[in-house]
Structure 1
Amino acid sequence: MNNSRRHFIKSASTLIAGAGLVSALPSTLKAAVAPSDRLNVAAIGINGMGWADLTSMLKNPAAQCVALCDVDQNVLDKRVAELAQKGIKVKAYSDYRKLLEDKSIDAVVIGTPDHWHCLQMTDACAAGKDVYVEKPMGNSIIECRSMVAAQQKYNRAVQVGQWQRSQQHFKDAIEFVHSGKLGQIRLVKAWAYMGWMKSIPVKPDGTPPPGVDYKAWLGPATTRPFNENRFHFNFRWYWDYAGGLMTDWGVHLLDYALLGMQSAAPKSVMAAGGKFAYPDDAAETPDTLTTVYEFDGYNIQWEQAIGIDGGPYGRDHGIAFIGNNGTLVLDRGGWEVIPEKGKMEAVPRQKSVDNGLDMHTTNFIEVIKSRNFTDLHAPVQVGALVATTAQMGNIAYRTGKKVYWDAADGKFTDRDANKLLAAAYHNGYKLPNIKA
């Protein structure tokens, strides 16, 4: 950005902060901002959360969309048309590398499947772009390290899409946890019971739909025949591209478990589960899983169950900080404290009052303007810690062992576990080996 644009964006930042939610800003304000003074944003991967992230970002008067990229021409055409209906004309790309060559683009949103995050984020940083990358930040522990190194080497603003970090009631809950009122916390539970997620029926291999560049979609993943089950949303349930519910919902909820306990890496991890609900369906990742992370003086426990809504404390997702005096239960709708008898006062449910995603994208835009990266709510270090923690759980499950982490060496003490530290890259792609 030139100096005049930076000056405007700083002024807009002050205005946004005074107005509260970006979504509440009058449309006349955005109309009053000259396009040349706005932040040029592009999005790579626009079928699901990438589109939601971009839509949220465009509520901000300091941002304008100038380009979209997707390997599914059907999705690309649809999104270009949707923007055109709002009077927004954008360039369309099927190859993200071509998009990154456009020097007028200031920032990119990455909403592609997990196995693409590392390459696209590191390439974007190298191209001088600031980045909003969906969670989980990396699809392996080694990828997370490369992504942290890329941010540091190229000095870019990188926000990870863990938007709960920007939601006020989550912040308030953690402030209460840190107050010490719960007493000694010996166990933290985080869980996702997803009743709306159903079995994936086995389907035969076929041919990609017209307009889909399947080779580009696979990228560094193992070459396999096209199968509808592995495409779009359901890629989450295959080890080639993602880590199941652990890296889908787990990174959101374990993030707050770690934040509440101010945790670094665990000492050990053990996990047990499997395809208990749907043993014969097409998914590879477990539908049922319990994982225990050991720390000094406390444990963090992860639970997941697909096809069931009845999670702990009557909630289908959440985090519970279980202390000697009481238990704080937190989810996306609010938080409350359930006291141990005679040890503390109950705190009635404190409901959510804001839009976490809008607050999160606003924070990203404000940091792009200020260049004060310490103000990011979910920087790469946060994204790397929780993605690494989730990957540790999956590694314990896949090896069938209790695995021990050597923090000094940055690896496990078990050979089989260390084989899963890095995701295998195929089709001529190479894992970025970036040193800060």
Structure 2
Amino acid sequence: MRHDARTDRRGFLRGAGAGMAACTFPAVLTARGRAAAAAPGERIRLGFIGVGRQGTDNLKAFLKRPGVEVVALADVDSKHLAEAAKVVEEAGGRAATFGDYRRLLDDRSIDGVVVCTPDHWHALATTDACVAGKDVYCEKPLSLTVAEGRRMVDVARQAGRVVQTGSQQRSEERFRLACELVRSGKIGKIKEVKVLLPKVNFAGPAVADSTPPPELDYAAWLGPAPERPYNEKRVHYLFRFFWDYSGGQMTNFGAHHLDIAQRALGRDESGPAAIEATATFNKDGWFEVAETSRIVYTYDDGVRLVCLQGEGSGHSVQFEGETGSIGVSRGSIASTPKELIHEPLGEKDVHLQVSKNHHQNWLDCIRSRERPICDLAVGHRSATVCHLGNIAIRTGRKIAWDPKAETIVGDPEAAAMLSRPYRAPWRLPEASSVKARAETPGRA
């Protein structure tokens, strides 16, 4: 939650609710962390921002990794916070808890931060952590808008931080093999890629606005999003089906499967040139995002990527080439001819970066200062593909995209949707204002 420099910090804490203002950081933990700072590389101390459903899953996964100590947790829902603290205790640790994640970032002994907030908080939490000298693991989709993603990359680079996007399929062997086979020309020139996304899993029907529950600091949950009354079916998991906070299954699963398509096409630093879409919406208005959609992305070499949400069957990502095909999903891979996926790649074939565990890859890169397998610049480009699909859906027009300039060409209204205003007093830091840090972990 980056706040305007003109906003008094103590005033914010007074206004954000007693749960935030009452949080204190145990002196013994701070002292222990500072003592450990003299021995870099022995243990990596992590803080978690957002410990709901996905946050707790990531918390449990990181607690199993060797050399990791979870020392702090932050969430605007006190129930989530208490449940996550119990998970840490059951694993034999102890974590300080905060309602305001900026208090967590004040601990100079924390090396890395895991961001699992709703999407509309990703950019603020990640850039604030980078400015504070922390490396970051940020859940997908990396951003809520294209402009946010670019700012995240610029700030992280200026601050010298290692940032992993939580698109864990990059670290799964079957997806890597499919990309290597495509990149090595094993099915000839690619004619078309098909990506299948699941149906919207909104828990209907809609309900009336109401008073927020006592455990949730709703003003803090909203943060930079537009102010509106609390509704129990717009928060927590269901936030992803409203434009103020997310982009539906396009950014939920699209951030996974379109990421694999981008990798296989060698477009990690680029993207499509044109996007057009059709979609259907919930007839009762339970949610805002598309219920079903068909999006066609065309790249500058003529390759078509057809993304179907809520319809179609087969593998999650399917590549059709002139001499064969490859389909890959979580847990399965198939090819035509069948033996293709069983033949070892040769020395001259494309061999992509290998990661056997997405969480461990980030931890290894915190120590080595290398870029992780899904560096935030990659996550930004993959999220951009998702955002462009949603812009085409919302405008109902064909979009012309310049991936080098990262702008929509010839359509000012659509181009304006590449960013969104933040509700005062929140704002992202400018990369130019970030003091460059040495590329070492966050120990001060």
Q: Pick the TM interval, shorter chain.
A: 0.7 to 0.9
Of all paired residues, the percent bearing the same amino acid is: 38
Aligned residues of 2:168 and 2:358 also touching (Cα < 8 A): yes
**Offset from partner CA, 1:223-255 (integer Å, 9 cap, x none):** 000001101000000000001110000010001
Equivalent residue number for residue 29 of structure 2: none
1:382 aligns to 2:388 (yes or no)? no
Equivalent residue number for residue 249 of structure 1: 253
Aligned residues of 2:155 and 2:429 also touching (Cα < 8 A): no
Give the one of 144, 153, 159 matched to 1:148: 153
Q: Which runs of 4+ in 1 moved over 4 A?
A: 1-4, 344-350
Matched residue type, 1:256: I
Q: CA deviation at 1:58?
A: 1.5
Classify the secondary structure of the residue corresponding to 1:336.
strand
Classify the secondary structure of the residue corresponding to 1:405.
strand
**1:88–1:357 distance in 2 versus 1, CA, 3 Å:** farther
**Offset from partner CA, 1:65-89 (integer Å, 9 cap, x none):** 0000000011111111232233211
CA distance in 2, matches of 1:380, 1:157: 8
Matched residue type, 1:271: A
Classify the secondary structure of the residue corresponding to 2:264.
helix
Compute the RMSD of aligned alpha carbons: 2.2
Aligned residues of 1:41 and 1:109 also touching (Cα < 8 A): yes
1:85 aligns to 2:93 (yes or no)? no
Equivalent residue number for residue 320 of structure 1: 318
Give the one of 423, 426, 433 matched to 2:423: 426
1:123 aligns to 2:128 (yes or no)? yes
How many aligned residue pairs are there?
A: 386
Pairing of 1:318-357 with structure 2 (within 5 A): 318-339=316-337, 347=341
Matched residue type, 1:416: E
Q: CA deviation at 1:386?
A: 0.4
Aligned residues of 2:262 and 2:271 also touching (Cα < 8 A): no
Query: Which moves more between the two structures, 410-419 or 93-102?
Result: 410-419
Matched residue type, 2:376: V
TM-score, with length taken from structure 1:
0.84
Pairing of 1:208-223 with structure 2 (within 5 A): 208-223=212-227
1:259 aligns to 2:256 (yes or no)? no
Equivalent residue number for residue 405 of structure 1: 401
**1:345–1:165 distance in 2 versus 1, CA, 3 Å:** closer
**1:225–1:67 distance in 2 versus 1, CA, 3 Å:** same
**Offset from partner CA, 1:316-356 (integer Å, 9 cap, x none):** xx1001011111001111211034xxxx8565799xxxxx9
Matched residue type, 2:212: P
Aligned residues of 1:337 and 1:349 also touching (Cα < 8 A): no
**1:359–1:346 distance in 2 versus 1, CA, 3 Å:** closer
Aligned residues of 2:355 and 2:373 also touching (Cα < 8 A): no
Pairing of 1:21-40 with structure 2 (within 5 A): 37-40=42-45
CA distance in 1, matches of 2:142, 2:67: 25
CA distance in 2, matches of 1:258, 1:86: 38
Q: CA deviation at 1:3?
A: 7.7
Classify the secondary structure of the residue corresponding to 2:336.
strand
Aligned residues of 2:51 and 2:75 also touching (Cα < 8 A): yes
Equivalent residue number for residue 5 of structure 1: 39
Equivalent residue number for residue 394 of structure 1: 390
CA distance in 2, matches of 1:206, 1:3: 47
